[in-house]
Amino acid sequence: MTTESIRYYATQGLITEPGEHGALFDGLPDDVPSLCRIAQGLLLHYGWTERYGVKLTKERFDKDANLRKVSKQLRRIIELDDSPLTEERVPASRLLGCCRDFSTLLTAMLRHKGVPARARCGFATYFAPNHYEDHWVCQYWKSGDDRWVIVDAQLDSLQRGVLGTRFDTTDIPEGLFLPAGRGWRMCRAGEADPKTFGFGKWQGMWFVRGNLIRDLLSLNKIEPLAWDAWGLMPKYENQDIPFEQMPLLDSVASATQGASPDLLAVQSIYDEQEILHAPADWEDN
């Protein structure tokens, strides 16, 4: 890990910058398990609402789940409940989101403390047997161990109990989460069936491609929503992948497949490929 990479991921990006609400992060604990519990007390995964006794409505989903920027999420969080962030909200008063939001919020908290961190998009093996579930996690640089640590900030005690989770979700063992680039290469090599990648009815190589680009963007400190779609991110399910896109997609996979992608490589690919750039109005939310 280069000094340049450590410095880059220790500072906020366009999405994680808390802006006028940055003071809300002051005084938060330094240890990652405590920060995960705080995130879990602020956010509620919209796919798990029934487990927490909350009725999901379209109005509430549209108001909460489409907020990209952490600054706007924080504004909504204190609108729902203006208690200090360290105070756990009742489930009905938490911001609705998904794994992307848990990971991005934890990333923002760590960067606020000067800890190198980044959200990663890929696939988890611990939600269902023989399936690679669409998922986001957070990585942070643990200087004492000289390594990137993978953290699943979404899985609280209730979810761990339902899933039967037996590993430390604040230090996920190697192989349980696959960066999307690794999933892409496995499918391309015939080592895995693309139909086992995704979630619900949405699965296949087109889905792997979408997460592949989302991970590249996130490594460039541009954390898109799970359903953002432009350029090489598919707008429709089961969309065929043009043959001429394969060399670029393979190069993205090579650059992003591991736990420690080369910063220069991921930045160069993004900078040189206009098709990867977000539309001008993308950051409005």
CA–CA separation, 66 and 70 (whole Å):
11
Q: What are phi and psi of 96, to 5 degrees?
A: -75, 135
- Mapped onto helix, strand or coil, the DSSP state of residue 62 is helix
> Which residue is it, tokens 């490929």?
273
CA–CA separation, 136 and 256 (whole Å):
14
- Mapped onto helix, strand or coil, the DSSP state of residue 100 is helix
- Contact between 147 and 7 under an 8 Å Cβ cutoff? The reply is no
Q: What are phi and psi of 168, to 5 degrees?
A: -80, 110
**Residues linked to residue 149 through DSSP beta bridges, in sequence order:** 140
Question: What pLDDT shows up at residue 192?
Answer: 97
> Which residue is it, tokens 């432009």?
230
Nearest to 182 by CA among 132, 111, 109: 132
CA–CA separation, 119 and 136 (whole Å):
7
Enumerate helices (H) and strands (E) in the chain, giving the number of each: 10, 8
Question: What pLDDT shows up at residue 235?
Answer: 78
CA–CA separation, 70 and 32 (whole Å):
18
**Residues linked to residue 117 through DSSP beta bridges, in sequence order:** 140
CA–CA separation, 230 and 283 (whole Å):
13
Measure the CA angle with vertex 155, ends 263 and 100; round to 5°.
40
The b/e string for 238-265 (b: 16+ C-beta within 10 A; e otherwise) is: ebeeeeeeeebbeebbbbbbeeebebeb
- Mapped onto helix, strand or coil, the DSSP state of residue 87 is coil
- What is the count of structural domains for the chain? 1
Helix-strand-coil percent breakdown of the chain, rounded to 5?
Answer: 45, 15, 40
**Residues linked to residue 193 through DSSP beta bridges, in sequence order:** none
Write out the chain's pLDDT in tens, 285 residues: 678 999 999 999 999 999 999 999 999 999 999 999 999 999 999 999 999 999 999 999 999 999 999 999 999 999 999 999 999 999 999 999 999 999 999 999 999 999 999 999 999 999 999 999 999 999 999 998 999 999 999 999 999 999 999 999 999 999 999 999 999 999 999 999 999 999 999 999 999 999 999 999 999 999 999 999 998 988 777 778 889 999 999 999 999 999 999 999 999 999 999 999 988 877 766
Question: What pLDDT shows up at residue 236?
Answer: 72
CA–CA separation, 139 and 147 (whole Å):
10
Q: Which domain holds residue 100?
A: 3-284
Strand locations in the chain (E): 43-45, 95-97, 117-124, 132-142, 147-151, 177-179, 197-199, 202-203
Question: What pLDDT shows up at residue 237?
Answer: 77
> Which residue is it, tokens 């800890």?
115
Report the predicted TM-score, pTM, of the whole model to 2 decimal places.
Answer: 0.96
Question: What pLDDT shows up at residue 285?
Answer: 62
